[in-house]
Amino acid sequence: MTDLLSPMLLPETSWVRRSAHRLWLAAEGRRLLRFAMASRMEGGFGALGRDGTLPEGALPDGILTARMVHAFSMAALQGIPGCLPLVRHGVKALLGPLHDKDHGGWYESPAAREGRKQAYLHAFVALAGSSATLLGVEGGEKLLSLATEILETHYWSEDEGVMRESFAFDWSDEEDYRGANANMHSTESCLALADITGDEKWLDRAHRIVHRFVHEIAGNHDYCMPEHFNREWTLLKDYNQDKTTDPLRPYGMTPGHFAEWAHLTLKVEAALLRREGTAPGWMLHDARALLDSALRFGWAPDGEPGMIYTIDWDHKPVVTVRAHWVQAETVTAAVNLLKRTGSPAYETSYRKVWDYIASTLIDHEFGGWRNEVDAQGRYSGEVYPDKADLYHAFQATVAPILPLSPCLTLALRESDIV
């Protein structure tokens, strides 16, 4: 039930040790799954409206489809009926209308056949391929092979130790940009690829990405994570200053990403410990410092509960809506640091964020979670107008009672989490 690398560190009084809490997590996970099933549509999965239905004119979304394959794979590995067919549907879409058969890679939607190909999307396709492969779904191995080839051929920069950002649809015109967000999700994908394929180079790449972004970049900015750079690694402080509510590349810094990097750093540390019996000492220190910065600058800066979306270079609030994914990643970082250290402070944070999610984000009328709310807990569409997708929220219900390594899907196959 507890982390295999630190089974004695979880306090006896922790919620995670309580059967009622574990049952609540499981029940909330099932509720999220039932809600998300309505996002299935011809050609993949689409974004649900606030009432839990597909809006008129909805299109399959490549990122969402890849995330759904991963999430429903986790559920299928838990033995939840009805999820395996959804994984098959998503894999078929990723090998079909969402796949660029002429140039390789994937579209953000079938209508975006001449848009840019983002590392962010392709990281999730690789994650989906690894999850479907572990589950044994037809087409999973093919999807995994295609995705890893694209990462190798176009995105991985061996000299820099990071993923390149984006290209034109035909792989020309590399973008003059290096971004933290795409590399963060690539870290998650690399960890899964290492576990599912057995190829250790992916763990080494996850290690290199974390070293650059966490230990070097965040470490030189008081463990706050700058997001935007050019290809020469010049920090672009004014990037998207006129697009503060951009959903992927907002101006300033994103405390939710500090938290997400924190638990990814712990996962890389755990994977290295499993492989080598040792890991760099800075990893635990940096993970703790990142979550500390996330909570110090992101939690309730306006006096109201919840983690806000973005801050400026003086650590002052910019966009104060409370996005669901920020809360989910913060609760995951808190519980992983709790398992890793046993510190009661992380138990306090874990409970505080779950209390906020339960009282403010869970939508008891229509289902799922509200994608974002304002400081007073009212629906907001400033950054994310649709309903929250399954990926962040569902992982938050399974991560607390799984080990930090191996990846979530493999850990689910090896254990019974209830």
Catalogue the active-site residues: 257, 392
Beta-bridged to residue 106, according to DSSP, are: 99
Query: What's the CA gap between 193 and 200, in Å, rounded?
Result: 9
Tell me the CB-side half-sphere exposure of residue 374, using CA atoms within 13 A.
Answer: 6
Query: What's the CA gap between 249 and 253, in Å, rounded?
Result: 9
Query: What's the CA gap between 213 and 220, in Å, rounded?
Result: 10
Query: What's the CA gap between 327 and 27, in Å, rounded?
Result: 19
- Pair 151, 122: CB distance under 8 Å: yes
Query: What are the DSSP calls for 26-71, one per residue?
Result: HHHHHHHHHHHGGGEETTEE----TTSSPPTT----HHHHHHHHHH
Query: What's the CA gap between 296 and 319, in Å, rounded?
Result: 16
Q: Percent helix, strand and coil across the chain, each rounded to 5? A: 50, 5, 40
- Pair 181, 120: CB distance under 8 Å: yes
